[in-house]
Amino acid sequence: GGSSDTGPTAERTAPEQMTATDVKVNVSIPEAAQRAAATGADGVGLLRMEHVVLSTGETPAHYVATHGEEAFVDTLADAIRGVADEFYPRPVRVRTLDAPTDEFRRLAGGEDEPAEHNPMLGYRGIRRSLDDTDAFELQLRAVKKLYEMGYDNLEPMFPLVTDAEDVLGAKAEMERVGIDPDKRPWGVMIETPASALSAAAICQTGLDFVSFGTNDLTQYTLAVDRNNEAVAGRYDELHPSVLELMEDTIETADDHDVATSICGQAASKPAMIRRLVETGISSISVNVDAVRDAQREAKRVEQRLVLESVRE
Ligand code: PEP
Ligand code: MG
């Protein structure tokens, strides 16, 4: 897919939906889109833009300085388009840049990146995007360009928000580049405890969905570095405190008609699927190898819930 200049090459026949809960797939590199689409997933729950940027071997600032702004927009748009095309009309959530500075420091131009003691708690995700708005606007312009080509299945998603103010900041940037947030579905990741605790305010910003980033939500809730072997035994996405933040957020989001989702690694764990489908999550998004099993598990839970409601 993705070879025409004018938009979606074809309406792909969406596979018959197996589950009431949407089961989507995470796509890391655009080259993997075809295989991901063939799984019958109900869309892409997470397409990480940083993979596209990191694969250029240059920091965004270096890329723009060397090749120009339009080239950066085109590189992003081409990569996203390959995925949007493969899944069309199934929705594709495209997440704006979220690489910690230590990853950028390895790239050409990396010497200009800040050296941080705690990159995971530092200059990444929406914090950086709202500060370094040049690179953020170019990312949004790539999405806008694709909307104009007819890829109305794209859904921008913003990482690492702390509170409603971050969400409103992202919304204002969308408006600034000419994406109408009232006409396009968009949402944020819930991956800091603060964002889960301010779900009510976040759900009143006009967004359409929230998606749990359990990789980060777990590390920040439990204060366990997700990359530190010494405390790996304490890293538990099913910890009651993590689950409580998620379940409370789902209830709040339901009250505001905001869709809920999970796209962290834990989304493929059967125990997590059981808990979240029981709580009423709208969709789960898993790695390509886990789609089948996740569909089966979700179906099993849904059938049990129907039986239980009939018996009551
Ligand atoms: C997460 O935190 O669960 C997530 C999906 O984002 P990333 O792994 O890219 O931080
Ligand atoms: Mg994350």
Work out whether strand 187-190 and strand 22-27 pair parallel, antiparallel, or are unpaired.
unpaired
The answer, yes or no, to whether residue 179 has pLDDT greater than 80, is yes
Which residue bears the tokens 């940083």? 50
Residues of the chain with pLDDT > 70: what percent? 96
Atom of ligand 1 nearest to the CA of 266: 3
CB of 215 sitting under 6 A from ligand 1: yes
Residues, Cβ < 5 Å to ion ligand 2: 191, 213, 216
Residue 10 has pLDDT above 90, yes or no: no
Q: pLDDT, tens digit, for every residue of 272-292?
A: 999 999 999 999 999 999 999
For residue 289, how far is the Cα from the chain centroid?
18
Span 162-168, average pLDDT: 98
56 lines ligand 1 (CB under 6 A): no
How far, in Å, from the CA of 292 to the mean position of ligand 2?
A: 24
How far is the centre of ligand 1, averaged over its atoms, from the C-alpha of 98 (Å)? 9
C-beta separation of 141 from 73 below 8 A: yes
Q: Pick the closest to residue 169 from 142, 215, 198, 207 (CA basis).
A: 207
Separation of alpha carbons 44 and 76, rounded Å: 17
d(CA 41, CA 23): 6
pLDDT single digits (tens) 47-102: 999 999 999 999 999 999 999 999 999 999 999 999 999 999 999 999 999 999 99
Which listed ligand is nearest to 46 at the C-alpha?
1
- Identify the three-state secondary structure at position 285: strand
pLDDT at 309 over 50: yes
Q: Which amino acid is at 273?
A: I
* Interval 218-248: pLDDT, tens: 999 999 999 999 999 999 999 999 999 999 9
Q: Is 124 in the pocket of ligand 1 (CB under 6 A)?
A: no
Angle formed by the axes of helices 69-87 and 49-56, nearest 10°: 130
pLDDT at 266 exceeding the cut of 70: yes
Give the ligand 1 atom nearest the CA of 191: 2
Cα 265 to ligand 1 centre (Å): 8
How is residue 61 written in tokens? 């600032």
- CB of 50 closer than 6 angstroms to any ligand 1 atom: no
CA separation, residue 90 to residues 14, 18, 165, 235, 256 (Å): 7, 15, 30, 33, 24
Give the per-residue pLDDT at 15.
64
pLDDT band at 2 (very low <50, low <70, confident <90, very high): very low
Provide the pLDDT for residue 3. Answer: 46
Q: Please give the number of the atom of ligand 1 that sits closest to the Cα of 46.
A: 5
pLDDT of residue 4: 52
237 lines ligand 1 (CB under 6 A): no
- What pLDDT is recorded for position 13? 66
* Helix (H/G/I), strand (E/B), else coil: 19: coil
Q: What is the ipTM of this complex?
A: 0.99
Interval between CA 5 and ligand 1 midpoint (Å):
32
pLDDT band at 133 (very low <50, low <70, confident <90, very high): very high
Q: Whose CA is nearest to atom 4 of ligand 1?
A: 213
